[in-house]
Amino acid sequence: MRSIWSGYLSFGTILIPIRTYAASENLHVGFHQVHKTDCGRVRYKKVCEKDGEELKAEDIVKGYFIAGECFKFTDEELESLKPFANKIMEILGFCKADEIPIVALGKPYYIGTESVKKRGVGKSFILLKEAMEKINKIAVVKWVSRTNEYIGMLESHDKGFLLKQMYYQEQIRPSQEIEIIDTEVTPDLVEKGVKVIEKMKFNFNWSEYREEYTVEVKKLIERKALGEELEVEAIKAPETRSVELELEKMLGGV
């Protein structure tokens, strides 16, 4: 597995050489955008809006506009703010996992040791892992990638660590902005709902789940490749039914 970042995890004054790896991958089919008439690929070019010139990577820098004036910055200028930040993942402290709101948790990454050839030190890595397991705590960390600073939750996982990127509180939109139709439900109806939930209880087995829609998309592609004419069925909106009657039906007429 190819690592996507390498640096040091700072545990107090101890610097632990680490590598991070993407813990998830995309299962979905990637379609290209094409011209409807001749199937030519539609590509996105980096073009200057002033002179229409197509640009190469070395022609592009970061810019910030204030009152219409453009201020340009090189990667070196931005990195000079924290010269070592791009190589350090700092442990801010330790807490219980349930103190982290589930809405804050984002993309997962695996954390492993750095290569021995690059002076990787396994002892400090295992020391931190076993100490965290013994007190049943997770670590809150922060790190810089490119021009952004991130926070995350680091927990012991398998032979190494699992890092879950966290959103900042200011990134999460208030749930109060969501429209909820306020209505009253009778205690009898709630009790029937509870009985339906009891009937639907099961032991969750993660390994049983597959991304089925992508499988169907691939079958569709195969049929198209074989020259089959595809029929598109009209989608009908589901009927609105009585909650009371549906609960009775699910409970078998109870």
Walk along the chain (254 residues) and give the pLDDT tens digit of each residue. 888 888 889 998 888 989 899 998 887 778 888 888 888 988 888 899 889 898 988 899 889 898 888 988 887 777 666 555 568 899 999 999 999 999 999 999 999 998 766 565 678 999 999 999 999 999 999 998 777 889 999 999 999 999 999 999 999 998 888 888 888 999 999 999 999 999 889 999 989 888 887 888 788 888 878 888 878 777 787 777 788 888 888 888 64
CB crowding 166-191: b at 16 or more within 10 Å, else e: beeeeeeeeeeeeeeeeeeeeeeeee
Long-range contacts from 209-218, C-beta under 8 angstroms, 24+ separation: 211/27, 211/28, 214/27, 214/28, 214/29, 217/29, 218/29
Q: What is the pLDDT of residue 119?
A: 60
Predicted TM-score (pTM) of this structure: 0.73
Q: What is the pLDDT of residue 198?
A: 92
- With vertex at residue 46, the alpha carbon angle to CA 41 and CA 52, rounded to the nearest 5 degrees, is 105
Q: What phi and psi values does residue 144 have, to the nearest 5 degrees? A: -115, 130
Q: State both tokens at 58.
A: 């070395």
CA distance 242 to 229: 40
Q: What is the pLDDT of residue 120?
A: 54
Q: State both tokens at 191.
A: 């009790």
